Each structure stands twice: as C-alpha cells, then as structure tokens.
Structure 1
C-alpha cells in the first residue's frame, strides 16, 4: 500500500497507537538505527510495509543512505543526522528525539528479523483487505459497461495478491480462519431478479426441450427459494423424460415440499403460465447475477478475515483461496454459458513450508538503554 504523506503531517504522536503493529514497527526501526548492518536481515520489508508515513520515510532513508562504518557509528551520531535529514524530506514531523526514542524502545536489535516478520504480516493483511475492497466496490459499480469482465479482472488481481502473500507465508493444513462468515448481501435489483426468474421458469415450462441447453444453471443461482425449488422440479422432470407443463411441475413441487411454506398452488400455476423470450437468455441473466453475488460474498468474506486480528497470514491465505474458489467455479459455468473465454491469472510460485522464514537468533545480553549510544 503506497503512501502519499503530507510533508507537514506528524503521525508519530506522543502515545503509541494501540495496535501492536506500532510497537513492532518502532522496534524494527530502532534495531536498524542501532545497527544498520541488520538491514540485510529483513529482505521482505519495504517502505510500503509500514503503517505510518513517518515510519515509511525513516525506512526509506535507512535503506537508501550508505551504511556507516560500524566503529564510526558506535561513537558518532553523524549517520543518524543524515537519516533524520533525509526522512524529514517526506515527513517533517520527524525529530532527533524520536530517532533516539526508537533506539531506546527496541528490546533486542538482533531480533530485527522477528520484528520485520510482524510488520510484513500486517502489511499482507492490509494488502489483502485493499484488494478485497476493490472487488466488492467493482461488484456494486453500476456504471460499468461490462460488469462481469471487470469483476473477474478484480478477482484475478485479488488472486495475484493472495499468491504473492502465500509465497512469503505458505498456508498450512488445517488453519482455515474461524471468523464468522458474513451473511449473503442483498440483491440490489431484487424485483427485477424475481421477475426475470419467473420468466425463466415459465419459458422453461413451455419449452422443456431447451432445459438441456442450460445445464450450467443451478438452483443456487436463483435469488428466491421457491424459484430455486421450481427449477429443480423442472430439471428433474426433464431428466426423467416425463411430461412438463404447469400442472406436472406443481405436482413435483408438492412432492418436494415446496408448498409447505404457504405458497398457493394457483399462484405457482400463474407463475409458470406466462413464457417470454428464451430459456438461454433468462438463464444467462440469472447466472450473471449469481456470479456478481458470489464475487460480492467472496470479497466480503475476505474483508472479514482481514479485519480479524486473530487470523495469521497463513489463515488469511487459506481462507482467501477457499473464497476465491467459489468465484472460480461459477466463472467456469459462466464461460460455458456465454462462450467467453477469459484468461486465468498466472499462479505465483509457491514457497515450501519452511521457505523464507525469519532466521532464529540467540538473544545476546540485553543492552542497557542508557548506554545504547550509537
């Protein structure tokens, strides 16, 4: 997530933010200021990894300035002054006292790889949330001329983000998020959806031979439970090569218990008696609506996973891939229905279970804060 900081912004504050990430960022920056040689031990970190513009500016300065001679750094603050000057070009709120505070609050500089892993994990969470936000926003963008293509493009981008995170945090078996799944969103055009589903059911009843041509349409694609049940009745009758008309469909519905919810038989007969258009046309409309709803639900699931601080990056990857698989399944059906072949996103190479982990280090004797003068 890129930063566009206000040069006059002071996002340091006198009281650290309540999120543990703030302390991890401070510890990491303090370690790098105390011993710039540790920069090579945190390869997965960039300025974008930090949550504040000031911390990002400091890391940029640390990364771009030539590292000082260790012996000289131990007795001179010259390099710290260079870092401060460079950092203030992006965040004027930085001060020399804050740099010294960062050094003092770092518990163990040699634990920099562990601090970096924490910062990187939270950055992955933010990236995943932002990609899921874009997917959900695209689903609800009524101005798009080709909504399905736009939504699938965002789904591909989200998949790429997940794969990139997985390369650093490979998912582990049995670590799906325990975050409650949000309920399905409401259909924005519920009245239109219900009317089109009624036309689909009536047209399929009048032309049962066309049902075979829309095998890609499933009951789960309907917005109304009664409509979904009636579609199952129609497909069952057609599959058994039995007569199909409003009365036979009504009888099948009664056998399946669809009228137990209070639906009137006469109402069902009226619903099935007014065909219009073609089964394929209404079927594609229903499937398109279902694809957008599936993408919306997948995006909101990933948003919920990202917002839950108890989920590790490993769980986020596993949960996001499970949600994206639902989009992949209906994407395949939509391609069969429309004849559109959209390119699948390239899968990033997955790291092995033990790849790219922060190296283990043995803690040295704890440095005395008062004596930690660079």
Structure 2
C-alpha cells in the first residue's frame, strides 16, 4: 500500500513547466523571475537550474537531436541523481500546452510565496515563546519586520484583484492562560502604582487589555482614573473606586483588594514594561498563528495572503508603538519617586519573591 500523500497542484505545474521547456528551450527567457529554489520538488529545481546552465540549442536542431536534453540531464543529476531519461519523457508527455509556460511559472512562484510566508510566520511564533532569548521583544520585532518586508516584496510581484480578503476561516482563539510569573508581575505593578501614582502620568503606553487577568485590568483602570482626575491615590481610595466599578460585586472582598495594592516592591515603570513586553510577545504569537492559518490554506491567492497578513500585523504594530514609547529614553520627563535603592532595572530578586508571596 502506498502511504504517500497525493501530489499537490503545484507538482503538476512544475511538471508542465519543465515539459514545456524541454520541448521548447527558447521559452526560458520568458520566465526570468522564477528561481530553482522556488520549486517544491528538489529534483525539479535541479533540472530547471541545469536548463539555465547549459547553453540553449538551436531550435531547428533541437527537434531531431537530443544532445541538449542529454547535457541537461547530466548537469541536473549532479544535484538530483534520481532523475532519469524516462522521467524527462514523462515531463514532455504531461505538458498540456508549452505556450502556457509563463503561467505555470507564476503558479510555482505563488506556491513558493505561500510556503515562505508560512515559514516566516512559524519563525515569528517560535521567537515569541523562546524563553532563552536575552532580549525577546527586540528579537520578536525583528522577525515581524522580516515578515513585513517579505510581504512588501510580494506586493510588487503579484497584482491585486477583487476579493482580496483570505477565504480561510480563522479558528476560535484559545482561552487565555495566565502564568504564575505574569500573575505576580501584574500584582506587583498594581501595588507599586498605588504607592507611586505620579508615575502613571507617563505610563499611558500601558493599556488594560495588556493584562492577563480581568481583575488586574479593572484595578489598573481604577488607578489611572484616579490619577486622571487628580484625586488622592492610596489603598482606600482605590477600594472606593473599585466599588463604584462593581468590582466588589463579583465576589472579590474589600480586604483582598486592600492586600493587593498595599505591598509595593520596585517601580511602576519596571513592572509596567514587564507586563507590556508579555502582551507584545503574546500578540506576536497570536498574529503569527493567524498568518500561518492563512498560509496553510491553499485556496488563498498571493494577494489575499498579503492583505490578510498585513491586517494581522497591524495589531502587532499598535502594541509595538506603545512598547517603543515605554522603552524610549526621555531625560526631560520626570520620573515618579521610587523605593530606596530601586532602579528601572527592577528590585532585587529577594524583594520580588517576598513581595509576590505577600500578595497571595
């Protein structure tokens, strides 16, 4: 029993193109944009490269003399020994129309674009979850930029057409999960922000939807609202604001909220950057997953892949803009007072551990 999957449509496009070129080598100049690396089949790519390497034959002589075919086969077998004379005859026989060679080449380029986009999306997703990177945000944004540049290149190669949105339906996003580290960092941020509310005036780059917990997002809204109204900020005023927002009606006790915002460790800016970086990486992973779904859908044309992927990247661009604002050095902007001996780099590790345990 043959367990191999059936050939994909691009396989027949590659065979038809190669058959056309074997019959009429003078068609090679019409498909300069195609490269050997763009073939999905290695042997096909090797054969195409050999056709470009071996000098073209005289058209009249080629009809009766197989010298050029033999030279091409010999050159191609250096990279793909599996090629045989019988397979070259097969390629010639399966070609429907040699004059359609430019169209076959465009089909091959389109499929290569889809595969490359999928590879770049997977690389972006892997970078976003790589915990070994010293600067995960910078590395992730670099991968996103490479993907965006690839889309710009594709846009210049494939013409737009009506119905530019991808046909592929996106799956329902998975339920959000919160790691213990994210949980602790958000709580430490809320406590530090309550102790140093003046810092929040310069932290508009952090949004409620950056938090992994809806409870923490609502408390953050309480804090920013109090600061915006120039009202006093302390655990009691935050509690009062939370009551007006219905937070206590959800079964969250007043004593729990007081405990949440009463043990500051470190600076709000430090914890805010940690929260925003996590939101950035999560967004990058989600965007990469969406683009991968588009690229895996064979029904999508290159232009549809470009449009859908650019729309997905726009969500990441919005978070990236806020991340760049949070990490920009602005000496003229005043900083909120911090705990003694605490820098923007964060509090000592022991203080973090003690603070996190206190908030539980």
TM over 0.5: yes
TM-score range, shorter chain: 0.7 to 0.9
1:139–1:292 contact (8 Å) kept in structure 2: yes
Show structure 1 runs of 4+ deviating over 4 A.
Answer: 170-174, 184-187
**CA distance 1:236–1:20, shift in 2 (3 Å):** same
Aligned-partner SS, 2:156: helix
**CA distance 1:46–1:131, shift in 2 (3 Å):** same
**CA distance 1:258–1:16, shift in 2 (3 Å):** closer
Gaps of 5+ in 1: 1-12, 342-374
**CA distance 1:259–1:60, shift in 2 (3 Å):** farther
1:185–1:293 contact (8 Å) kept in structure 2: no
Q: How does 1:22-41 map to 2 (within 5 A)?
A: 22-41=11-30
Which of the numbers 223, 226, 230 marks the counterpart of 2:219? 230
Alpha-carbon distance between aligned partners in 2 of 1:44 and 1:257, rounded to the nearest angstrom: 62
Which residue is 1:125 aligned to? 114
Residue 114 (structure 2) pairs with residue 159 (structure 1): no
Which residue is 2:131 aligned to? 142
Q: Deviation per CA, 1:263-285, whole angstroms, max 9, x where unpaired?
A: 33332222122111111111111
Residue 82 (structure 2) pairs with residue 101 (structure 1): no
Q: Deviation per CA, 1:53-89, whole angstroms, max 9, x where unpaired?
A: 1111111111111111111111222211111111111
Which residue is 1:249 aligned to? 238
**CA distance 1:171–1:253, shift in 2 (3 Å):** farther
Which residue is 1:88 aligned to? 77
2:128–2:281 contact (8 Å) kept in structure 1: yes
2:176–2:212 contact (8 Å) kept in structure 1: no
RMSD of the alignment, in Å?
2.3
Mean CA deviation greater in 267-276 or 85-94: 267-276
Residue 307 (structure 2) pairs with residue 318 (structure 1): yes
**CA distance 1:234–1:119, shift in 2 (3 Å):** same
Q: How does 1:59-98 map to 2 (within 5 A)?
A: 59-98=48-87
Which of the numbers 30, 33, 36 marks the counterpart of 1:47? 36
Which residue is 2:46 aligned to? 57
Alpha-carbon distance between aligned partners in 2 of 1:94 and 1:162, rounded to the nearest angstrom: 35
2:205–2:322 contact (8 Å) kept in structure 1: yes
Q: Deviation per CA, 1:309-356, whole angstroms, max 9, x where unpaired?
A: 111111111111112222222222112111179xxxxxxxxxxxxxxx
**CA distance 1:16–1:207, shift in 2 (3 Å):** closer
Which residue is 2:252 aligned to? 263
Aligned-partner SS, 1:238: helix
Residue 272 (structure 2) pairs with residue 283 (structure 1): yes
Shift of 1:203: 1.5
TM-score by length of 2: 0.85
Alpha-carbon distance between aligned partners in 2 of 1:260 and 1:28, rounded to the nearest angstrom: 69
Which residue is 2:298 aligned to? 309
How many residues align structurally?
Answer: 328
Which of the numbers 312, 316, 319 marks the counterpart of 1:327? 316
1:184–1:297 contact (8 Å) kept in structure 2: no
Shift of 1:184: 5.4
TM-score by length of 1: 0.82
Alpha-carbon distance between aligned partners in 2 of 1:79 and 1:16, rounded to the nearest angstrom: 34
Residue 288 (structure 2) pairs with residue 299 (structure 1): yes
